[in-house]
Amino acid sequence: MSKTRKIRIVCGVGARPNFVKIAPILRSLKRYSRLATRLVHTGQHYDRVMSEAFFEDLGIAPPDVFLGVGSGSHGLQTGKIMEKFEEFLLADPPELVLVVGDVNSTLACALAAVKLHIPVAHVEAGLRSYNREMPEEINRVLTDQISDFLFTTSRGAGENLLREGVDEKKIFFVGNTMIDSLRKSLPRAERRSRFLRELELAPGSYALLTLHRPEVVDSKERLEKALKALEGAAELLPVVYPVHPRTRKRFSELGLEKRFRGLSNLILSPPLGYLDFLHLMIRSRMVLTDSGGIQEETTVLGVPCLTLREETERPVTVEKGTNIVVGLDRGKIRRETEKILGGKGKKGKIPELWDGKAASRIARILSERLSKNSK
């Protein structure tokens, strides 16, 4: 009697946010004996802290395939990923390609798959900032249009897809896999204390900052505006800033590194692994960020968050959570910081289905649908 053929799923990742989102999905898919998964790392983020350390922190086995595309312009990077990922798929075509998030690897892997008539599943579908200057927005919209399974983190994301003409049968509201990773990692992250000791900071005495979006860090004018805006918070409490490698490079190229280093109360640190960063976030008084995922994490942790952008593709973090969109308005940042320090910061609730079980829902849906199609 012949063995039942496995249903093969290839998961494509390439950047730090992808790793956080894919970890619980890989664990959940492996619970189904009929499914066989392979993890392909494009190499979009390729240094140790941006890649290998995250795999270790999240408990992910090393990727099955590493494409090693490295950095480059958006077009060059996307093209290289498509070329190498297509070559991999042609050698052994799977039944499904699964991608997460909105980075260049997300779109490139999805495009390579769909052109080979391989179905695509997009996790974190339907998010919209409606700011086409963001490369991530282009990646989101295009990936959603060519995907066969669209897994959403909120009901609003599903509504966005319906307005764009996506077939309702393709949309599945499952929750947020980034929060799955957060909930699983909290006990280990809470035990971390080395960085706070090294920085000589007490829990709740500092703000945590991320600033890495190309629309800000690639412009000297906007970076200088960001400097002035951050003074609104840094005058009131220390601000810890783990600097993204790309951002540090831009500081130097634009001649602004000395100014950042000279900003009173700004503490620069190297980039951190997932658990170390999560520990700093848990213990912080507030977070200032231009990152999408951190808006979600702070909402679940109950940590006040000020988003340093003019819009957010995650409005549920504003409607339900602790997030306030402040842009680079120095006065607004200072006022909101004063409220937080005075105990009057925004209180939030945890959004629907952000319960740590999103990946289980995704795996169940894929197992049922793909098994049915393979008969």
* Cβ contacts of 44 within 8 Å, gap of 6 or more: 14, 15, 69, 70, 71, 77, 81, 103, 104, 105
Q: Return the structure tokens found at 38.
A: 């392979």
Q: Return the structure tokens found at 162.
A: 């319906």
Catalytic residues: 212
Rounded to whole angstroms, how far apart are CA atoms 187 and 301?
Answer: 13
* Cβ contacts of 200 within 8 Å, gap of 6 or more: none
Rounded to whole angstroms, how far apart are CA atoms 366 and 370?
Answer: 6
Secondary structure letter of residue 316 according to DSSP:
H
| Contact (CB, 8 A) for 307 and 289 | yes
Q: Which residue, 51, 33, 35, is CA-closest to 43?
A: 51
The Cα-based distances of 164 to 104, 128, 157, 160, 293 in angstroms read 21, 11, 11, 6, 24
Q: Return the structure tokens found at 331.
A: 């006065």
| Contact (CB, 8 A) for 18 and 108 | no
- In 10 A of CB 46, how many CB atoms? 18
Q: State phi, psi for 100 to the nearest 5 degrees.
A: -130, 150
Q: Which residue, 139, 38, 146, 43, is CA-closest to 93?
A: 38
